[in-house]
Amino acid sequence: MRRPVVLITGASGEIGHGLITRLAADGARPILTLDLKALDPELRRLVAREFVGSILDRTVLERILSEFEIDLIFHLAALLSTRGEFTPVTAHRVNVEGTLNLLEFAQHERQSHGRPVALLYPSSIAAYGLPDLATKSRVRKVREDDFNQPSTMYGCNKLYAESLGRYYSRHYKQLSSEAVSGRVDFRCVRFPGLISAVTVPSGGTSDYAPEMIHAAAEGNGYACFVREDTRIPFMAMPDGVEALLRLAAAPAGSLTRQVYNVGAFAPSAGEIRSLVVKAFPAANITFEPDLKRQGILDTWPGDVDDTAARRDWGFAPKYGLEAAFSDYLIPTIRDRYRKA
Ligand code: SER
């Protein structure tokens, strides 16, 4: 029997960075990666095999299928919410067709080696769409099945990809006479905005928070593209990575749903600015809202109800707002720019 390996798509992205480091430290499975962009050299050293290519290219996936026995997939590749509004059809292709390819791939792996295959999928608060600010402030913590009316192509794609995952794991080929020997084990978290101290995001709408922090640490001014009172949930990247790993490790019997909210803190943009200025007193941060991007954020929830994740698989973020800054973001970011 070949040794089971883990596949990470979109591995060069922000979550991929943290995930590769954590998985390599655990050392339980060799790591394969697939991304359009080559990995940074320090990550490249940690993986068994790197494929540079697209999730839309079936030949790459077929090659991986023929060479490896994969039992765990983190499908991170995506085109985010701001970028998706400029190229909606491309966003759909990457986010929906790409996910469909990965689900098919996972199903084929399942059939080919006969053991369970888990596909871990990061969905997003973009899957929600609140109708107006009055509703947003009234609701406070949104539950998974409420307000599923996304306003962005990315949000539509994420919500639909969740349904695809549910279909593959519960109903795939339900009427076919051909025997389906087990289905994909699809598990999904809806992430809030993620803030990493070691990478900077691109193409997202929650990017104002990490951009503000990184700009201040670099000694650059920053014009924040949202109103000071804008509030959405955020999480420190190590807790995001931990959430994926914990959900992957949870016994199937303990899971009561396939899509779980996860949250950690939900500050306004003004509160984030105050913490940044406390750490970097020379920071020059102003608010110059971009009404269009603001419009998207106004439809995203102010916070999420993650009771189910805490109950079913012990989700427990290590970093609250203050600790995320004092114990993770500020010291790590200072170090990053000192070295640069
Ligand atoms: N961070 C993502 C974005 O802003 C949301 O999942 O697009």
Beta bridge partners of 7: 32, 73
Q: Is the pLDDT of residue 90 over 80?
A: yes
Three-state secondary-structure class, residue 48: coil
Q: Which of 15, 76, 79, 80 to mutate to test the pocket of ligand 1 (most atoms within 8 A of CB)?
A: 80
Asked if 5 and 113 count as a contact pair (C-beta separation under 8 A), the reply is no
78-339, what's its fold? Rossmann fold (3.40.50)
Q: With a threshold of 0.85, does the pTM exceed it?
A: yes
> Could you please report the per-residue DSSP string of 132-171?
-HHHHHHH-EE-TTS----SSHHHHHHHHHHHHHHHHHHT
Nearest CA to ligand 1 atom 6: 124
Contact of 8 with 20, CB cutoff 8 Å: yes
pLDDT in tens, 190-215: 999 999 999 999 999 999 999 999 99
pLDDT exceeds cutoff 70 at 340: no
Torsion of CA 21, 22, 25, 30, to 10 degrees: -80
What is the three-class DSSP state of 336?
Answer: helix
Q: Nearest CA to 324 among 210, 168, 246, 177?
A: 210
Instruction: Please give the backbone phi and psi of residue 8, each rounded to the nearest 5 degrees, phi first.
Output: -120, 120
Q: How many residues does the chain have?
A: 340
Instruction: Please identify, by atom number, the ligand 1 atom nearest to the C-alpha of residue 191.
Output: 6
Closest CA to 261 of 173, 143, 154: 143
pLDDT at 339 over 80: no
Q: What angle do CA 48, 49, 51 make, to 5 degrees?
A: 160
Checking if the pLDDT of 273 tops 60, the result is yes
State the closest ligand 1 atom to the C-alpha of 203, by its place in the atom list counted from 1: 7
Q: Which of 198, 201, 208, 175 is nearest to 286 (CA)?
A: 208
Give the DSSP letter string of 276-302: HHHH-TT--EEE---HHHHHHHHHS-S
Identify the three-state secondary structure at position 232.
coil
pLDDT digits (tens, 9 = 90+) for 24-61: 999 989 999 999 999 999 999 999 999 999 999 999 99
**Atom 3, ligand 1: residue with shortest CA distance:** 204
Q: How far is the CA of 128 from the centre of ligand 1 (A)?
A: 12
| CA of 201 relative to ligand 1 center, distance in Å | 9
Compute the distance between CA of residue 256 and CA of residue 254 in angstroms, rounded to an integer: 6
**pLDDT band for position 336 (50/70/90)?**
confident
Report, as an integer, the average pLDDT of 266-277: 98
The pLDDT, as a whole number, for residue 195 is 98
How much distance in Å is there from the Cα of 17 to the middle of ligand 1?
Answer: 17
pLDDT (0 to 100) of residue 181: 76
Q: Which atom of ligand 1 is nearest to the CA of 154?
A: 7
* The predicted structure's pLDDT at residue 3: 75
Angle at the Cα of 332 from the Cα atoms of 300 and 50, rounded to 5 degrees:
80
Q: What pLDDT is recorded for position 94?
A: 98
Q: Which of 207, 235, 290, 296 to mutate to test the pocket of ligand 1 (most atoms within 8 A of CB)?
A: 207
Which atom of ligand 1 is the closest one to the Cα of 206? Answer: 4
Distance 192 CA to ligand 1 centre (A): 8
How far is the C-alpha of 128 from the C-alpha of 249, rounded, in Å?
27
Q: Which of 124, 190, 230, 299 gets mutated to test ligand 1 (max ligand atoms within 8 A of its CB)?
A: 124
**Ligand 1 — pocket residues by CB below 6 A?**
80-81, 124, 126, 154, 191, 193, 204-206
